[in-house]
Amino acid sequence: MRTIKELSKLNGRVYVYLANAEIGKRFLQQAEAEGFTYHDGVKPIERGYSTIMAVNCDKTINFVGTNGNIAYRSGVKSVGSEQLIRINGEKYLSGADDDMYN
């Protein structure tokens, strides 16, 4: 089984696309089971998801703002000095090999 923790170890800014409520809920449940929280300590299930979520190296997740959404959808290769890594949440959670959009 693939983990959210694996995503947090990738070298870059990791944005996960969550296509619908079912995938969003699965992502949040798995993140919470692995000990992830939002930056303020709130558990993932308590707050909910957005279509694009960031996974951070400090075992936190966060919503992606307007600029991040534009970057994600535009096809840019980096955000600031970090590589932008686009993950298809549904494929990642199911174990598919073609889970990256890059």
Per-residue pLDDT, 75: 86
Specify the amino acid at residue 42. Answer: V
Share of the chain above pLDDT 70, in %: 98
Sequence ranges of the domains in the chain = 4-94
Could you give the CA distance from residue 16 to residue 53 in angstroms, rounded to a whole number?
5
Per-residue pLDDT, 101: 66
Mean of the per-residue pLDDT values of the chain: 93
pTM of the model: 0.92
Per-residue pLDDT, 96: 86
Task: Give strand pairing partners of 60.
Answer: 37
Radius of gyration of the chain (CA): 12
